[in-house]
Amino acid sequence: MTAVELVQPPADVHVDAVGSVRRARRRRGTVVTGVLAAVAGALFVLTMMVGDYAIGPVQVVASLLGLGDDPGADFVVRDLRLPVAAAALGTGLALGFAGTIFQRLLGNPLASPDFVGVSSGASLFAVSMILLGGGAGLAVSASALVGAVVTAVIVYVLAFRGAISGYRFILIGIGVQQLCTSLISYVVARADVFEAREAMTWLVGSVGRAGDTELAVLWVTLVVLLPLALVLSRSLATLELGDDAAKALGVRVERSRLVLLAVSVALTAVAVAVTGPLLFVALVAGPIAHRVLGPASSGGLLAAGCVGAIVLLGADLVAQNLLPTPLPAGVVTGLLGAPYLIWLLASVNREGRGG
């Protein structure tokens, strides 16, 4: 009986196979992200088309580019609808990036600025400015920005024990969030009816309240931080391998983690300062992007930002045009996000991934 010789394929065959898989994943990621960006752009234009005064897509684009010849349409598009659409697009991008960084960095699908105290801290400072400081407009937005940063620093300091554990960070963040929520209820309960109503309106979250200054701050922040987040995404992918592996690959773990957290907190803080706390956008953007990207999910930051923009632009369209009474976008994101959170909690519990 003759022995069967096992012939090993040449090493370059393995290299070619791996390279082919990587190129296919990269192409899929590029195509899917491009489609998501196109959908977000279409919703951005659609937001400026619909309303009591309907405008065609060509006319909207012409007005945006300064090529329109209808002063009435230009006024509606540029002065009335563009600020709302720009706030929804920018805030959705910011929350999509921030939520995905939190979830990947802390290794938990429940990790989100909504649930680790950042948004609630911003809300506490903003409501306190409305009810106790008599502030409005830019003062409230600035207070929300400061509140988000202060709360994030408190959570980080309390969670730091030589290193940051995702489980400990989330638990402490939830505790700080509950404290901020209780303080908000206390402040609102002591206010008169008119001021309490104003505070509760802010707490719902709306993309229609931003002024020119707030929008300028939002987009300048995005121009600076989104490219930085994309540059840092490589170290984020390495950190997902674990601290030991990341150190072996030359990554300064705690410094990289701190920078990524700072970028995420800054994006969340500016978004909440502009629109108020829009719940669940940051929570759902990353998982949806991961699902549609599939094997190409390693490049998910930009895709998650596009998903966040799609969710928020779509929520505002529904809230303003498909409901019997126009409502803030935060009502719709809350209604859509709550069932997802319940499903996520149940699935995480079944899979034992809660910690």
In a domain, 138, yes or no: yes
In a domain, 308, yes or no: yes
Q: What is the pTM of this model?
A: 0.88
CA 209 to chain centre: 18
In a domain, 13, yes or no: no
Q: What is the CATH number of the domain that holds 125?
A: 1.10.3470.10
In a domain, 20, yes or no: no
Whole-angstrom CA distances from 281 to 13, 28, 130, 181, 312 are 44, 24, 25, 19, 7
Domain carrying residue 89: 25-351
* Side-chain-facing half-sphere of 145: CA atoms under 13 Å: 16
Q: Which residues contact residue 268 at a Cβ distance below 8 angstroms, ignoring those fewer than 6 apart?
A: 94, 95, 98, 113, 118, 119, 122, 148, 282
Q: What is the pLDDT along the chain (355 residues), one digit of tens a residue?
A: 455 455 555 655 555 565 666 777 778 888 899 999 999 999 999 999 998 888 889 999 999 888 878 888 889 998 889 999 999 999 999 999 999 999 888 888 778 888 888 889 999 998 888 888 766 678 888 888 899 999 999 998 898 887 777 778 888 988 999 999 999 999 888 888 777 888 888 888 889 888 888 899 999 999 999 999 999 888 888 888 877 888 887 888 888 888 999 999 999 999 998 888 888 899 999 888 988 887 655 558 999 999 999 999 999 999 998 888 888 898 999 888 888 878 777 776 555 554 4
Task: State the pLDDT at residue 13.
Answer: 52
In a domain, 319, yes or no: yes
CB 279 within 8 A of CB 120: no
In a domain, 338, yes or no: yes
In a domain, 232, yes or no: yes
The count of structural domains within the chain is 1
Token pair belonging to 176:
């700080």
In a domain, 346, yes or no: yes
